[in-house]
Amino acid sequence: MLNVRGLDAAAVATLAERVDNASRHRQPIAMLTVDYPQMKLGDAYAVQSALRVRMESRGIRVTGLKMGLTSRAKMLQMGVSESLHGFITDEGAYGEGAEIPVARYIHPRVEAEIAVVMKTALKGPDCDVARAAAAIDFVVPAIEIIDSRFAEFKFDILSVVADNTSAAGYVVGGRTRRLSEIDLLTEGVVLTRNGQVAEVGAGAAVLGNPLEAVAMLANQRAQLGGEIPAGCLVLTGGITAAIHVAAGDAVVVHYQSLGSVRIRFV
């Protein structure tokens, strides 16, 4: 349940400030559950929402939503086996080919993701792949940059939800496809760093079908009284394990039919 609460409003505000400061000053912090063991999943989403309000009050604009931990590779890598969601913003929006300073982050990693743009709003509960498909305008390939605000990139589910699912940036590129033009399950992806193959996968790694992630996002949002709005960009979650990046690294993700997306870290 995403709406079960154990903390009061003051504690939620304190934790949002803690996460926000860690991000702004690139100072890793301890998992939130160390000081607040009574925290529940509803509190974690409340902290995420308070973080969103703090960011918006500084003029940062929310540009979309993201699912996380939707593939077995990611669940195994992070030791968290439940899919969760967060938001993405214009602060972390980069263009294809961008040079991204690693100094903006604590310990950045990148992920290859299939993204979609919604034609109509999608509102749960009871969304499924068919309803998600009907609400989608087109598919676009993406790279997500994640950067946990927790020391050593180690967290539990409550801490990572409060930390907006490690969201730090994203790039969309390649070419767009209608759902009728692509088989999302067999869409292959090759993630390279400095010309070396680092990870390989296919769309089906994401909950069996990336559209399951879109349906799950709508259903999770519904539990919190929200929806996926029309026009929203949705990242469906890393297909493979995330890879570390350092200054000087060139990352190119090749998609089978969606083209490629590239960025460089400086």
If one asks whether residue 199 binds Mg ion (CB under 5 A), the answer comes out as: no
- Which DSSP string do the residues of 125-151 spell out, in sequence order? SS--HHHHHHHEEEEEEEEEEE--SBG
Q: Does 238 bind Mg ion (CB under 5 A)?
A: yes
213: closest CA among 137, 147, 124?
124
Residue 212 contacts ligand OOG per CB under 6 A: no
Residue spans of beta strands (DSSP E) within 90-239 = 93-94, 99-100, 109-118, 136-146, 167-172, 188-193, 196-202, 233-235
- Per partner kind, with CB cut-offs from 5 to 8 A, the member of Mg ion, ligand OOG, none near residue 78 is ligand OOG
Taking residues 33 to 72 in sequence order and writing x for each that binds ligand OOG by CB under 6 A, - otherwise, the string is: ---------------------------------x-xxx--
Using CB under 6 A, count the residues that bind ligand OOG.
15
Please tell me whether residue 237 binds ligand OOG under the rule CB under 6 A: yes
Q: Which does 69 bind (CB under 5 to 8 A by kind): ligand OOG, Mg ion, none?
A: ligand OOG
DSSP state of 261: E
Determine the residue with CB nearest Mg ion: 144
Q: Specify whether the CB–CB gap between 41 and 158 falls below 8 A.
A: yes
Q: Convert residues 154-193 into a mask of x (bound to ligand OOG by CB under 6 A) and - (unbound).
A: ------x----xx---------------------------
Closest by CA position to 143, among listed 52, 69, 243: 243
How far CA 68 is from CA of 22, 63, 157, 243, in Å, comes to 20, 16, 11, 15
Report the residue number whose CB is nearest to ligand OOG.
68
Our finding on whether 144 is near Mg ion (CB under 5 A) is: yes
Nearer to ligand OOG (CB atom), residue 108 or residue 178:
108
Of 57 and 216, CB closest to ligand OOG: 216
**What is the closest distance, in whole angstroms, from the C-beta atom of residue 154 to Mg ion in the complex?**
17
Residue 34 burial by CB count (10 A; 0-12/13-18/19+): exposed, middle or buried? exposed
- Strands 167-172, 136-146: pairing is antiparallel
Please calculate the CA angle 170-259-138 and round it to the nearest 5 degrees: 70
Residues 6+ apart with CB under 8 A from 70: 83, 206, 207, 210, 212, 213, 216, 236, 237, 238
How far apart, in Å, are the Cα atoms of 40 and each of 10, 36, 54, 119, 179?
15, 9, 21, 34, 37
Stretch that binds ligand OOG, among 28-36, 94-102, 144-152, 185-193 (CB under 6 A): 144-152
Query: What does the per-residue mask of binding to ligand OOG show for 90-129, with x meaning CB under 6 A?
Result: ---------------------x------------------
> In angstroms, what is the minimal distance from the CB of 9 to ligand OOG?
26
Asked whether position 74 contacts ligand OOG by CB under 6 A, the answer is yes
Residues that bind ligand OOG (CB under 6 A): 66, 68-70, 74, 78, 111, 144, 146, 148, 160, 165-166, 237-238
- Residues in contact with Mg ion by CB under 5 A are 111, 144, 238
